[in-house]
Structure 1
Amino acid sequence: MRVDEALIRSLTPQVIGVLVRRGADFAAAEDAVQDALVDAVRGWRDDPPRDPKGWLITVAWNRFLDATRADAARRRREDRAEEEPVAAPGVDDTLQLYFLCAHPSLTPSSAVALTLRAVGGLTTRQIAQAYLVPESTMAQRISRAKRTVSGVRFDQPGDVATVLRVLYLVFNEGYSGDVDLSAEAIRLTRQLAAAIDHPEVAGLLALMLLHHARRATRTAPDGGLVPLAEQDRSRWDTGMIAEGVEILQAALARDRLGEYQAQAAIAALHADAPTAAETDWPQIVEWYDELVRLTGSPVVRLNRAVAVGEADGPRAGLAALAELDASLPRHAAVAAYLHERDGDLATAARLYSEAARKAANVAERDHLVRQAARLNTDR
């Protein structure tokens, strides 16, 4: 019999959370659960337990006790565990683990790695491959993160915004190695949405679904980037779009607007347009105005300039762009696009070349180089 990997991954954060609540520090709890998972993989093929979660809790707790037998605090921890039922009603251990892994004392990269390991149930090797770093480097990063959060007590409510930022970072990593981090982020955000009733959690889930629905059309067969306006909309996942819109509408109806809901609203307007020419750009500008009000982000202002250029013409977009710092990432690319729309092909070609030199990745650089070459050829 094959071990159910999905079940194992879903139970991992719950079991770690139980051990932490019983008194184990995070690093020791995570190590004990990993040992129990090894035992599960070896033993469940022939004799799967009737209660997989209970089995994992028992084995992991015993592994923890074995590892701390010489510790003077062992008796206190055992006494506390004996007084507590295995599954305390009303306590969401997975939710507690989300907050622990997104603790403010961690750097964003460490928080992401720890979330994927403890909440996502991924192996260190899988996380390292996804981030294109050596396994030893990722192991050190995760070990430092575990040491940082060990001993953290939850006597204050966790910060939902921090958890959402971590999940958003995971989603934006996309795909590399043998782990689809965008799909993993959606899975974890669904799990969080089931555990906590918060409109911004729903907004982030909607945003992820609406973006992920377009994934198959974002790159050409040769790996080149395909701009939104040129994507084959018949290949977008309409079921995923419908789900994202439904979740978003329910969140917006609660009248507690946040940045992820506003971003999702913009994505929904793009998804709703049958063609690029039919995009409701004036309404998108209005949503960007809300985002600017909520975040004050220069990157949001940059994207707003593009939307203004589509809604009111390229010169209006260039006027909005002129108010921003030219050193912003993608500033030159946006300026190139707007100058091209305005008919100034020489300036656009120069700016596309400049943007290519500043590109954050190879795919983006190659796309911008092609844009510059196209304009230089046309003139």
Structure 2
Amino acid sequence: MPSPHALIEGVFRVEATRIVASVARMVRDVGVAEEIAQDALVTALEQWPVKGTPDNPAAWLMTTARNRAIDRIRREARLAENLVELGHRLPSDVVPEIDTIEDDVLRLVFVTCHPVLAPQNRVALALRLLGGLTTAEIARAYLVPEATVAQRITRAKRTLAEKKVPFEVPAGDERPARLASVLEVVYLIFNEGYSASSGDDLLRPALCHDALHLGRTLAALMPAEPEVHGLLALLELQASRLRARTGDDSAPVPLDRQNRARWDQWLIRRGLAGLEKAQGLGGTFGPYTLQAAIAAEHARARTPDDTDWMRIAALYQVLLGALPTPVVALNRAVALGRALGPQAGLDAADALAGEPALRTYPLLPGVRADLLARLGRIDEARAEFERAAAMTGNVSEREALLSRARELP
């Protein structure tokens, strides 16, 4: 049995987003909502070890947080004007399932992506509130200092409060304006689950599940938006490989070594259908649709040797035009290394050595190490694997890189 503190922290980590979303709808302030959620956590840490664990821990936390919200409204003498609105939201013993389009979490997504916020502040706040990511994890995802992320989150909360942003899903022309940030949030939450930036485990499946839920919800809400379907297709194709991404010892398994029999064919079919829908809606293909097309090439290949690397390299070239980032350029280098040989890939990777955003990015030395090993430059490859291991904050990934270094002759 886990200790009361471990149980409380585990339940809170799962339920925090829903609690913050529900309370934010009541108090109309995401910063205050997060404070109230933390207050409920502190109350649980004080009471559960003494009074025992409640039958429904999630409902207890939600009810406590809602009660704190009502108390705050009363203290600020706003009860009269909010009484009617709060009537149907008073605490109950049952936490509602978040499985409809018009739910609190979706409202919270769009609030955190409101145009009054600077783009980088929108994403940082949403990742903090929706994904439960720490400032350190967000900093690694964006390759920026942790202090910068903390400042962005603080500014975002202050701006939303000062502008009195309504807690609602936007309608009409406002919705597409916020869509790019919303999609980026969902994408980064999934990525943190698919390849955790820190901790002992490579995977955080709960984050992948949350991102898939949000993606499917958005696709139902915005069926005419190609990039919504493109993103969902990408996530489902990537999620199809989750079971094969680690071995029995939980060590990471590279794509070309994965047991493809473990790939989820139902998710692959869904992803391919979503990609077809995104492409069928017309217009210029966006970054997520292009990435889904790349993932589809891997999904269709029955064996690693069947992979059409020339097409993947061509798709990365198109993606680089739509999303000209160093990370996309590095992925293109990997594809070139497979399509045209390791020297072509190494030349493309070495061209990125001066990119400031990649100075502490472990995939750059990791990619170079693989290409150097294939060229027979073993000592250089070993040094690059070790350099990549020193850069990563994920224990499982670090051990895998060191293992690759030890495997070299």
Using the size of structure 2 for normalisation, the TM-score is: 0.66
Report the Cα distance in structure 2 between the residues aligned to 1:372 and 1:288, rounded to whole angstroms.
28
Match of 2:189 in 1: 170
Match of 1:240 in 2: 267
Match of 1:310 in 2: 338
The amino acid across from 1:269 in the alignment is: E
The amino acid across from 1:338 in the alignment is: L
The equivalent position to 2:161 in structure 1, one of 150, 157, 172, is 150
Report the Cα distance in structure 2 between the residues aligned to 1:25 and 1:355, rounded to whole angstroms.
41
Q: C-alpha offsets along residues 126-154 of structure 1, whole Å, 9 cap, x if unaligned?
A: x78xx7xxxxxxxx99x967555335325
Match of 2:143 in 1: none
Match of 1:373 in 2: 406
The equivalent position to 1:111 in structure 2, one of 119, 126, 129, is 126
Kindly tell me the number of residue pairs found equivalent between the two proteins.
328
Alignment RMSD: 4.2
Report the Cα distance in structure 2 between the residues aligned to 1:305 and 1:11, rounded to whole angstroms.
40
8 Å contact kept, 1:352–1:368: yes
Distance 1:323 1:11, change over 3 A: closer
5 Å matches for 1:195-214?
195-197=221-223, 198-214=225-241
5 Å matches for 1:122-137?
none
Distance 1:110 1:245, change over 3 A: same
Point out the structure with max Rg over C-alpha. 1
Q: How much identity, in percent, do the aligned residues show? A: 36
Report the Cα distance in structure 2 between the residues aligned to 1:284 and 1:94, rounded to whole angstroms.
35
Report the Cα distance in structure 1 between the residues aligned to 2:307 and 2:18, rounded to whole angstroms.
43
- 2:253 corresponds to 1:226: yes
Distance 1:173 1:95, change over 3 A: closer
The equivalent position to 2:365 in structure 1, one of 327, 332, 349, is 332
The amino acid across from 1:222 in the alignment is: D
Report the Cα distance in structure 2 between the residues aligned to 1:305 and 1:231, rounded to whole angstroms.
21
The equivalent position to 1:216 in structure 2, one of 243, 261, 278, is 243
8 Å contact kept, 1:356–1:368: yes
Match of 1:86 in 2: none
Report the Cα distance in structure 2 between the residues aligned to 1:19 and 1:351, rounded to whole angstroms.
52
Post-superposition offset of 1:72: 5.7
- 2:194 corresponds to 1:184: no
Distance 1:348 1:11, change over 3 A: closer
8 Å contact kept, 1:101–1:115: no
Any unmatched runs of 5+ in structure 2? 1-10, 45-53, 57-61, 87-100, 138-149
Report the Cα distance in structure 2 between the residues aligned to 1:10 and 1:322, rounded to whole angstroms.
41
Q: C-alpha offsets along residues 328-368 of structure 1, whole Å, 9 cap, x if unaligned?
A: 22222212222222333343233323333333422222222
The amino acid across from 1:68 in the alignment is: I
Report the Cα distance in structure 1 between the residues aligned to 2:25 and 2:390, rounded to whole angstroms.
50
8 Å contact kept, 1:102–1:115: no
The amino acid across from 2:130 in the alignment is: T
Report the Cα distance in structure 2 between the residues aligned to 1:278 and 1:266, rounded to whole angstroms.
14
Secondary structure, counterpart of 1:349 in structure 2: helix
Report the Cα distance in structure 1 between the residues aligned to 2:105 and 2:206, rounded to whole angstroms.
22
- 2:73 corresponds to 1:68: yes
Report the Cα distance in structure 2 between the residues aligned to 1:315 and 1:160, rounded to whole angstroms.
40
Using the size of structure 1 for normalisation, the TM-score is: 0.70
Match of 2:89 in 1: none
8 Å contact kept, 2:275–2:289: yes
Q: Which moved more, 1:231-240 or 1:107-116?
A: 107-116
8 Å contact kept, 1:13–1:93: no
Match of 1:122 in 2: none
The amino acid across from 1:233 in the alignment is: R
Post-superposition offset of 1:43: 11
Post-superposition offset of 1:181: 1.2
8 Å contact kept, 1:25–1:150: yes
Match of 1:97 in 2: 108
Report the Cα distance in structure 1 between the residues aligned to 2:319 and 2:346, rounded to whole angstroms.
20
Distance 1:342 1:166, change over 3 A: same
Any unmatched runs of 5+ in structure 1? 45-55, 83-89, 118-126, 132-139
The amino acid across from 2:308 in the alignment is: D
Report the Cα distance in structure 2 between the residues aligned to 1:355 and 1:11, rounded to whole angstroms.
37
8 Å contact kept, 2:20–2:30: no
Post-superposition offset of 1:268: 1.0
Post-superposition offset of 1:97: 2.7
8 Å contact kept, 2:245–2:254: yes
